[in-house]
């Protein structure tokens, strides 16, 4: 039996725990192996790491912060939302939102070849 970690596609650069988790989940489900796709996924994973760090800061400081002129929303909230949009758009650009949850009908000959290839890899 093959070790999934030994055959998995490695990220092009170091990622934190949240980013690496996203990388592994996406690669396990979709197996992105082209260089452009890997780079887009790596960018999304890095954004996921930054998002986790920003979320920690917001959780620590609170969503509202006190200033001399009164309470205001935390400045990192805008960046958090921007990173969430970036991650979603990038995953959409990779086409990960288009795959059917369950294939419709009988598998085609191409699908059968792909499944055999994946089983052998």
14 found inside a domain? yes
Task: For residue 55, tell me if it sits in a domain.
Answer: yes
Residue 14 and residue 43 in contact, taking contact as beta carbons nearer than 8 Å: no
Is 4 within the bounds of a domain?
no
Residue 82: inside a domain: yes
Let me know if residue 3 belongs to a domain.
no
The pTM score is 0.72
Residues with Cβ within 8 Å of 99's Cβ and at least 6 positions away in sequence, in order, are 30
**What tens digit of pLDDT does each residue of 74-104 get?**
899 999 999 999 999 999 999 888 764 555 5
- Asked if residue 58 belongs to a domain, the reply is yes
Q: Which residues pair with 20 in a beta bridge?
A: none
CA distance 27 to 31: 4
Q: State how far the Cα of 14 lies from the Cα of 42, in Å rounded to an integer.
A: 9
Cβ burial of 24 (10 Å; 0-12, 13-18, 19+) is middle
What are the structure tokens assigned to 38, written together?
A: 């890997």
Q: How many domains does the chain have?
A: 1
Assess if residue 63 is contained within a domain.
yes
Give the domain extent around 48. 9-120
What is the spatial distance between Cα 53 and Cα 76, in angstroms, rounded to a whole number? 10
pLDDT tens for the chain, 121 residues: list them. 444 555 578 899 999 999 999 999 999 888 888 999 999 999 999 999 999 999 999 999 989 888 888 889 989 999 999 999 999 999 999 988 876 455 556 667 777 788 888 888 6
Residue 2 included in any domain: no
């Amino acid at each position: 039996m093959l070790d999934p970690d030994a055959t998995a596609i490695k990220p092009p650069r170091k990622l934190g725990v949240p980013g690496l988790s996203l990388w592994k989940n996406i690669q396990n489900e979709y197996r992105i192996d082209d260089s452009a796709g890997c780079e887009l996924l790596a960018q999304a994973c890095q954004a996921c790491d930054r998002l986790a760090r920003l979320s920690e800061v917001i959780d620590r400081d609170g969503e509202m912060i006190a200033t001399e002129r009164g309470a205001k929303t935390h400045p990192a909230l805008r960046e958090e939302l921007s990173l969430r949009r970036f991650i979603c758009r990038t995953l959409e650009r990779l086409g990960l939102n288009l795959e059917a949850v369950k294939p419709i009908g009988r598998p085609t000959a191409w699908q059968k070849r792909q499944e055999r290839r994946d089983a052998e890899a």
